[in-house]
Amino acid sequence: MSQEERPAIVGPVDATRVPRYCGPETFARLPRADEVSRADVLVVGVPFDSGVSYRPGARFGPGHIRASSKLLRPYNPAQDVHPFGVQQVADAGDIAVNPFDLSVAISTIEAESEKLCEDGASLVTLGGDHTIALPLLRTLSRLHGPISVLHFDAHLDTWDTYFGAPYTHGTPFRRASEEGLLDLEHCQHMGIRGPLYAAADLEDDKTLGFQIVRADDYEVDGVRGAVDRMRARLGDGPVYVSIDIDVLDPAHAPGTGTPEAGGLTSRELLNTLRGLKGLNVVGADIVEVAPVYDHAEITGVAAAHVAYELISILAANRK
């Protein structure tokens, strides 16, 4: 489709005409997908938390992030880009998944995400627990080949089974590695911290294709050092960014299911994401927001700004 043929971009509701506490309940008050003829970026919710091992509640994450996104504005000065002005971004609503059957749920997410991507849109997926990363990676590896995963989390999420169950929020990246979805030379964890089940967890993780920038490394090397290591590892292939909001310190994201002390600040995370500019980002998710444990939308606002920076990266990469 040539530039001339592309339909005019429909942006968010104008906050100078409609107060922020009014208007649609979509992400950043953007148009719904059925209100635009095509989309470059689709924000989609996956209300699902049947894979969690501790606190539940991430099924209410998508709605909470949308409700916390009403203050997002048209121009992002940190990246000098209009994320909703240079590309069509729309809210595709939620993928309705079976809360009682994990295998059915995973198949549904895979099938529905494939449909959403079929016209070339990139997905920014609002979880839901971290189980959802596996079906999303299955879809993207079919489209792009082996994926370099950039995984922000307190947890490795490369464990094997929980109570014998292979598909949980603690196992998505082991399953993805085993299924051949990942570029094993270019996957990276950011923000890892807290107690492990065994030292062998780290050896397994390395075998599965990951390197680690620990939360404590930010203390020594700062954001710049973390971004340098991140970019050196990711290379120039297709990159999928999976952000477990518990990568943030519980002070910055109390509303999550498995909190660990000693995490990143929201400023460190946002500035790290800005370091993705120019890399081939093909999709992203933001998971593990559990609003029942949030206070004053602290976690919801952080997640909404994370989504805004990711959408801004997709916009900046179009320049």
Ligand X SMILES: N=C(N)NCCCC(=O)O
Choose from ligand X, Zn ion, none: what does 53 bind? Cβ within 5-8 Å by kind: ligand X
Q: Which residues contact 15 (CB under 8 A, 6 or more apart)?
A: 29, 73
Interface pick for ligand X out of 83, 170, 191, 283 (rule CB under 6 A): 170
Residue 265 interaction partner, one of Zn ion, ligand X, none, beta carbon < 5-8 Å per kind: none
Choice from 66, 130, 186, 189 touching Zn ion (CB under 5 A): 130
Which of these segments, 44-52, 154-162, 209-217, 223-231, binds Zn ion (CB under 5 A)?
A: 154-162
- Per-residue string for binding with ligand X, 140-169, x by CB under 6 A? ---------------x-x-----------x
Beta pairing, strands 187-192 & 148-152: parallel
Q: Report phi then psi at 68, rounded to 5.
A: -90, 5
Nearer to ligand X by Cβ, of 29 and 130: the residue is 130
244 binds ligand X (CB under 6 A): yes
Is the distance from CB of 54 to CB of 257 less than 8 angstroms?
Answer: yes
Residue 174 is a binding residue for Zn ion (CB under 5 A): no
> Which does residue 138 bind out of Zn ion, ligand X, none, counting CB within 5 to 8 angstroms by kind?
none
40 is a site residue for ligand X (CB under 6 A): no
Does the protein bind ligand X through residue 246 (CB under 6 A)?
yes
From first CA to last CA, the distance across the chain in angstroms is 17
- Nearer of residues 31 and 172 to ligand X, judged by Cβ: 172
Residues that bind ligand X (CB under 6 A): 53, 130, 155, 157, 169-170, 244, 246, 257-258, 288
